[in-house]
Amino acid sequence: MQSELNRRVKPARILTIAGSDSGGGAGIQADLKTCTALGCYGMTAITAITAQNTLGVRAIHEVPAPCVRDQIAAVFEDIGVDAVKTGMLSSEAIIEAVADGLRRYKSAPVVVDPVMISKSGAALLKQDAVEALKRLLLPLSAVLSPNIPEAEVLSGIRIETAEEITRALHILHGMGPEFVLLKGGHLQAETAVDYLFDGDTITTFTAERLQTVHTHGTGCTYSAAIACFLGLGESVPRAVHLAKNYLTCAILHGMHLGLGSGTGPLHHGWNLETDINTGKIKQDS
């Protein structure tokens, strides 16, 4: 057993900077579950504490910006970071603290999920913080991963047609990220198509559209999975491809969890099967 442990390779270290979801389906909790399922080591800088479940958000309490800055510094200066993912940032002061930290430690790729509204409709980013997000954080990102409503807020245009998708990708890329991943789940289409743009080429990623209410935390999980694969050394297109496959299966398996009476969570550990007799974790086929 000891020789087996000695042979293990050190896991990719993933820092998620986001809010806490007491229901466990999104935010920090979803990110850490994703990191574990994908064989990475998850670390956190918590930006806000939310009281929520599958029915909605009851309360939000922001963590003071200096504490967010200290959490980022503590992780980078001791354990080290191979990739970063940001989620709920809530306020301009927190965005400034995050941007300061990421500028100071430049070694890891950053995936920015511009979380603005929860599945239940609660505002998770203050209106006056949007400009700070565009000005301070997008230029530091390797991947910006908005959904359609978030992309409309950031780009300032309506997004419904193929031409509008292309225009939005160009506008968002012009704000500084190396790649823009526009998630097309909100579009009216038979399949779920995402669009990855590097400034020159648009690459599409298509998956079956699953009819389910168990979609709480999809954006958090997707961006966390991308960060995991980047931390493992994959290219951005390959990381997106692998992350989308993982996410689609997590949604599919989440349909069988049946947790809560509202918008239920995904099954982040769908790919893990533990034999309680041996303690070994097997990959699901």
Catalytic residues: 183, 215, 217-220
Helices 236-254 and 218-231 meet at what angle, rounded to 10? 140
Beta bridge partners of 144: 112, 180
d(CA 86, CA 146): 12
Beta partners for residue 242, in sequence order: none
Nearest alpha carbon to residue 141 among 26, 236, 44, 35? 236
- Residues in a beta bridge with 123: 117
How far apart CA 183 and CA 174 sit, in angstroms, is: 18
Structural element, H or E, at residue 18: strand 13-21
